[in-house]
Amino acid sequence: MTGTDHPPTVTVSEREHGVLLITLDRPHVRNAIDRATAAAAALTRLERDPSLDLGILTGAGGHFCSGMDLKAFPAEGVPVVADRGLAGLTRARLRKPLIAAVEGAAAAGGFELALACDLVVAADTAFFALPEVSRGLVASEGGAIRLPGRLPYHLAMELLLTAAPLPAPAAAHHGLVNQLVSEGKALDAAFALAERILAHSPQAVRLTKQIAQDTRGLDDHTAFTVQDPLSAPVFATAAATEGALAFTQKRTAVWKT
C-alpha cells in the first residue's frame, strides 16, 4: 500500500465550546497504533488552533487502545514522533488540557497514552495493563517512568513486572482515574468534565497546567522560583480583570480566548 491507500486511523471532530474530539479508529485491532502521524497531527491542531481550548482522546468500538500494533511493527516500525513519543503524545508538552475517555482495554502503549493525559474518565468495565515484559519489551513510553509516581510503588511494580491488569474500579480507588462511570458512558462523562473546565479562563487553565507540570517533583523553594515569573503577569491580564468584575457584579464571566 502507498500512504494514500491507508484507511484513516484517527478521526477528528470539533465539538461545541472549543473541544476537539480525537478518536483512535482501528476497532478491529482494539485501536492498536500502526502509525503515529495521524494522532500527532490532531494534537498539533489542538495546540495551534486558537478556537480550541481542550481535547478528548478516546477509542472506537468499545476499547481505548491496545498500544503498538505488533503485527505492523516489522513494516511500519515503532509509531513514535521524534521528541513527542508514541502517537505524538507520550513525550509531548501540550499547553491545553487533554482528557482520556477510556472504555475496554487501555493496554501497553494505550495505558501510556492515558498516563500522558491530564484527566482520565473510565467505564467501570475498563482495565489498564502494561504487558510489555510478556512480549520481551519495556514500557518505554512513560509506563515504567510515570506509573510508580501515580500509584503506590509496590502496586506499580506488580503491574510492571507481572503484566497483571488493573481494573478501572481499582485504578479509581488509587486516584489513577478521575471518574468511574457505567459502560458506554465514558465519552459523555468526559464531555461533561470538559464543560466544567471550559467554564473558566482558558489562559488561566493553560498556565495552571504549565505550572503544575513544570514544578512536579520540585521542592517548595525551587517550585516557587519556577512558578512566580509565570504567575505574576496574570494579575495584569484582561482575564483577571474580567474575573474580578464578574465576581463583584454577580454574573458569569465572559472569557476571551
Q: Name the residues annotated as catalytic.
A: 112, 132
Q: Which three cell numbers stand for residue 179?
A: 471518574
What does the block give as the cell for 142?
A: 512513560
8 Å CB contact between 190 and 58: yes
CA-based Rg of the chain, rounded to a whole angstrom?
A: 19
> How many beta carbons lie within 10 A of that of residue 221, not counting itself?
7
**CA-based nearest residue to 171, from 131, 138, 139, 126:** 126
Place of cell 495551534: 48
Cell digits for 45? 491542531
Q: CA-based angle 129:133:135, to the nearest 5?
A: 100
